Each structure stands twice: as C-alpha cells, then as structure tokens.
Amino acid sequence: MKLSRNTELIKSKYAQFFASAMLIGISANLAAMIDGFIVGNLIGSEALAAVNVCRPAMQVYGFCSEVLSAGFAGCISMLLGKRLKEEADRMFTSGMIGAVATAVILTIVQFLFADKICAVFANNETLIPIAGDYFNTMLFSVLFMLISEPLASAMRIEGRTVLAGAVLFAPHVCNAILDLLFVGVLKWGIRGAATATLIGYAIGFLIALSYVFSNKRTCRFVKGGRVDDFGQIVSTGISSAINMGLIAIKLLIVNRMVGEDGGKSGMAAMSILMIAWALQSLFIGGVSQTMMPMVSVYYGEGDAHGVRALFKHSLKILLGSVCMLVILLLIFPQVLPYLMGIREGAEMSICITAVRIFALALPMEAFVMLMVRYYIATQNKRLSVIIATMQGIVAMVPVIYITERLFGLVGVWMAFPISGIIPVLLIFGMAGFNTERLLGVKGHEFLVEMSVKKEDISRTVEAVVQLLKSELSDGSTANKVGVVIEEMTVDAFARNTGKKLHVDIVVRKIDDEILISFSDDGMEYNLLEHMDESPQSIDSIYMLTKIAHKVDYSRVIGLNKTNIVLSL
C-alpha cells in the first residue's frame, strides 16, 4: 500500500474558516462601500467624494485593527502550536490591554483635532465641511473596532468561526439598514451615514463581549500582562498592516493629484476605484486571515509540508477570485459607477477609464499581499516589511509623479498597475525565481506522512511498520509506532461515527526520539481526560502511557492535535 498525505483535512478546515475570515481585512472598507452606495444614490456625487476624502482615516483604523488581529493570529497560534498554553494566555491578556489603550488614545486624539484632520484630508473648500460632518461622528467607530476585531481573531484561532463571523458581519448589516433609515427616511444626510456606521460597530462590540464572558474559551485572561508581549504582537502584525498604513499616506497624495486634475468628478471616480479595491480586499482579507493562523500552527509544529500545502491552496483561491473580479471590471466597468449613483455622462466616462486601468493592478497587489502575510506567519518579519513598504508607497510615489505629469488624470490611474509590477519583481528576484526559496520553510526530518481512511486502518498500519523497519533498522520501535497509530485512529473514528472525519498522521525523527503527530477535525476530545469512559479507552490510554515517553494534546484552529513521543 502506498502511503500518502492528501490535503483534505487542510481544505476542510480552510473552508470552515474562510467565510468568517473574509470580513477581517475589509471591515473599515466594507463600511465605506455601504456608505458610498447609500450616499451616492440618495445624496449625490459630491457627498460620495466627501466619504472618499475621509478614507485615509478609515485606512488608519484598518491599519490598527490589522496590526492587532494579525499579531494575535501569528503570536497566539504559534504558541498554541508549540503547546505553550500559559504563554498564549499571557499574550492574549497583554494584547487586549494594549488594544483597549490604543482605542481610547486614538479616539481622544481624533476628537481633539477633528477639524485639522479634515482640512488635511480635503484640499477642496466645498468638500471640507461635508467631510467634517461625516468624520466628526464616524471617528468614534475606532473605539469599538480595535477591541472587537482582535477578539474575533482569537475566536477564529480556537475554531469559533460562527461567532467571529457575527462580530465582523453584524456591523455591516446594521450599517446598511440604518443608512436607509437615517439617510433615506429621516433625511439626516451624510451625518446619518456616519451615525449608522458608528452604531453598527457598537453592535459588533456587544457581540464580542459574549466571548469575553464565556467560560469555554481557549484564550484566558491571566494576571501579569506585559508590555513586551504587546510589543511582540505589534511587531508581528505591523508587517501585515503596514501596507494599510502606507495606503493612507498614498491616498492623501493621490487624492490631491486627482482633485487638482479632475476636481469633483475625479474625486468621485477615485471613490469608485476604492470600492473596487475594497471588493478585492474582501478576497485578500478572507484568504490571508484564513491562511495565517493555520500556517502559524503548522510552522510552529515544524510541518513544512503542511505549510506549503496551505500556501498553494490559498494562492489558488485568491488569484482565481481576483481574476474573476478583474474580468468583470474590464467587461462591465460602468456597473460600479452606476451603483454608486454616477449618472452624468462626463463623470461616467472618467469612471469607466479609471476602472479599466485600475483593474489591471489588482492581481499583482493580491499576490504581494498574500506573500506579506505568508512571511509574517512563518516569522520572516524583515522580508514582509520590505515588501509591504515597497508595495505600499515606495514604488507608487515616483511612478505617479512621472505618469501624472505625462498623462494628467489618466496618468494617475496608470500609476497603479505600473507601480504594482515592482514589488512582484522584488519578491521573485530575492528568491532567485526559485519556488522553494520563495516559500523558504524547512521542517523536521519526515519518516512518513499519511491521511488515513476508516476502511484502510489495518493496511495503513502494516505499511507504516514495514516502511519504518527499513528506515530505522529497529523492528521494536516500528511496531510501537504501528500500535500508536492503530489505537489513536480507531478511537478517533469510533468517537465520530456518522461524521466525515479527516485524519492526518506525520511521523518524524527528531534527535533520538520519534514524534508521531496526530491531527483530526472531529469533536473536541482530549484522550488523556477521558480514561474512565469505557474499558476500550482505558486499554488505549494504558498502552500509550507504557509505550510513549511523552503524550500531549491541544485543541487549536478547530483541530485535535495529539503528539506522542517515543524514545529510540
């Protein structure tokens, strides 16, 4: 029998995480999409332009929440993957204390300097007061975002994807409903749209509190939160989020150029491009935020094969989704402007040109952002920061100054795809155009890895024993490994009768020990805590404790992870 490990377990868990994760990276942008749609259609293109003027502030919110969410996903998942539960709890505590402090400070600063901030955002005297009406209410949203979104990341780490999805999705459902009420029915104007956004995020925050008061959560609050732990969360997450922070600066530069060359119509077109960018961010956020905690866990376990399989699956989903979006934008460029209330012929013409040119940049940005998140998950922070900085602003600034002077407003749109080529070439250039070097992760020495089906348990065990006898020249150890695999696998399928169970087993040699890693997506079950349930489980536990040098268990990313160590 040929032993092989498929990707069914990874794909099954990936699909479970993906739906809720899609909202992580686009939270602030989705709010802007909803507000833009309502405002553009019910108030007009001038109000739509004012919403876009405030987008740099939304990028700052997104930057801060991404730092915390990605930092949580990377640091806590890594610690849980290494079976360091106490350190993971302390990291969670430190991160939440830091998140609350950051949210409060940012809210106070915005409130005190709101008028000056709006003046920086808008270089158009007509737009400044309208943008002020929107910003002065919307700014309080950050207080709820920066607390609820890291909590949603913690929920996803332990597999509570439905609750995490509710925290992230409910604000936007409420926002859409309240937009129609406040703007359409009550005629509160642009301030009504901002109020709807604020209330929506408050709803998400209240849902997140149900996790805080839950006694069943994996991540616990402990005494002794530390500043250096919060610093580690920030340093891990910042390379993922740095692009969002730099985009805020980039948008200030681009908005001023667009305002000078295209006026109100140009700013309205820029709003449409940001809607297209937000649609792409839906896929980038979903794929990368699903990939990161899973890659961190597999990386922490030293499972290089699992890491590579996760990345390839993520890349396939992301590029497939984004390319479909690009095709739609190229064929039907008028749809987004029309949905956002653009009807006038000249404005529509500007928007169509902008959308078609901008669409060409989306696949390149998607690939670069996935690589940034991958390098964060595999602890290559320096490389992730270099790439994110290049994509965020370093490549864009010189390109846009040249193209804008040569082609005017069209040159501004052209700068997006032209500058997008540079970080892609940088990534492949640093890897020497070699795929293995591109991923750059090494694991422990694999003796054998396999995915096991219920009907093949006996044949699988026999094949493993025969293979290990030839690899180790030690029949006794090979037989012990066979006993462990059989007992663990039979027990897992017996506990999950009627469920489609996926089981992966990896056998590795680490120094003078054999590590058997057993993963399944069944019901939560720590074998060591259920010794008294049946004679069969007693026999299994007794046998394992006699054979094994060490047995440990953790429940992480919704998987049962059991490690059994045998001494050679």
Model confidence at 39: pLDDT above 60: yes
Helix/strand/coil (H, E, C) string of 253-281?
Answer: HHHHHHHHHHHHHHHHHHHHHHHHHHHHH
* Residue predicted with more confidence, 358 or 296: 358
Residue pair 275/340 in contact (Cβ under 8 Å)? The answer is yes
Length of the chain: 568
Q: What is the pLDDT of residue 166?
A: 84
Nearest residue to 370 via CA among 360, 356, 357, 384: 384
- Cα angle value 337/341/346 (rounded, 5°): 60
Task: Tell me what the mean pLDDT of segment 399-411 comes to.
Answer: 90
Cα of 403 vs its chain's centroid, Å:
33
Residue pair 212/151 in contact (Cβ under 8 Å)? The answer is yes
Helix/strand/coil (H, E, C) string of 468-514?
Answer: HHHHHCCHHHHHHHHHHHHHHHHHHHHHCCCCCCCEEEEEEEECCEE
Among 121-125, 199-203, 263-267, 340-344, the range of highest mean pLDDT: 199-203
Distances (CA, A) of 336 to 253, 261, 352, 356, 474: 24, 22, 9, 11, 67
Beta bridge partners of 561: 519, 554
For residues 294, 297, 303, 305, the Cα torsion angle rounded to the nearest 10 degrees is: 10
Q: What is the mean pLDDT of the chain?
A: 83
Confidence of residue 363 (pLDDT cuts 50, 70, 90): very high
pLDDT tens digits for 184-242? 888 888 888 889 889 999 999 999 998 888 777 777 888 877 888 888 888 877 766 67
Residue pair 161/16 in contact (Cβ under 8 Å)? The answer is yes
Q: What is the DSSP letter of 445?
A: E
CATH of span 445-567: 3.30.565.10
The rounded distance, in Å, linking the Cα atoms of 280 and 276 is 6
* Residue predicted with more confidence, 107 or 568: 107
Q: What is the pLDDT of residue 535?
A: 46
Task: Tell me what the mean pLDDT of segment 322-336 comes to.
Answer: 94
Task: Tell me what the mean pLDDT of segment 320-338 comes to.
Answer: 93
φ/ψ region of 508 (left if φ > 0, alpha if ψ in -120 to 50, else beta) reads beta
Q: Return phi, psi of residue 564, to 5°.
A: -125, 125
Instruction: Return the domain boundaries, the chain.
Output: 14-439, 445-567
Q: Return phi, psi of residue 563, to 5°.
A: -110, 130
Q: What is the pLDDT of residue 68?
A: 86
pLDDT tens digits for 270-306? 888 888 887 888 788 788 878 888 888 888 787 888 8
Q: What is the pLDDT of residue 71?
A: 83
3-class SS at 22?
coil
Residue pair 148/65 in contact (Cβ under 8 Å)? The answer is no
Distances (CA, A) of 201 to 39, 379, 385, 392: 19, 32, 29, 27
User: Pairing state of beta strands 559-567 and 550-556?
Assistant: antiparallel
The rounded distance, in Å, linking the Cα atoms of 359 and 351 is 12
Rg (CA), the chain: 26
* Residue predicted with more confidence, 128 or 171: 171
Residue pair 409/262 in contact (Cβ under 8 Å)? The answer is yes
Helix/strand/coil (H, E, C) string of 17-73?
Answer: HHHHHCCCCCHHHHHHHHHHHHHHHHCCHHHHHHHHHCHHHHHHHHHHHHHHHHHHH
Model confidence at 515: pLDDT above 80: yes
Model confidence at 108: pLDDT above 90: yes
The rounded distance, in Å, linking the Cα atoms of 239 and 457 is 44
Neighbours of 529 (CB within 10 A): 10
Does the reported pTM lie above 0.85?
A: no
Confidence of residue 332 (pLDDT cuts 50, 70, 90): very high
Model confidence at 29: pLDDT above 70: no
pLDDT tens digits for 70-84? 788 778 877 877 778
Confidence of residue 393 (pLDDT cuts 50, 70, 90): confident
Confidence of residue 433 (pLDDT cuts 50, 70, 90): low
3-class SS at 568?
coil
Sheet holding 513-520, edge to edge: 445-452, 503-510, 513-520, 559-567, 550-556
Nearest residue to 388 via CA among 377, 375, 406: 375
Cα of 63 vs its chain's centroid, Å:
13
User: Pairing state of beta strands 559-567 and 503-510?
Assistant: unpaired
What are the tokens at 219?
């991540």
Nearest residue to 329 via CA among 370, 361, 374, 290: 361
Nearest residue to 10 via CA among 436, 509, 506: 506
Task: Tell me what the mean pLDDT of segment 485-505 comes to.
Answer: 88
Among 43-52, 88-97, 340-349, 423-432, the range of highest mean pLDDT: 88-97
Task: Tell me what the mean pLDDT of segment 8-36 comes to.
Answer: 70
Task: Tell me what the mean pLDDT of segment 523-545 comes to.
Answer: 63
Q: What is the pLDDT of residue 418?
A: 94
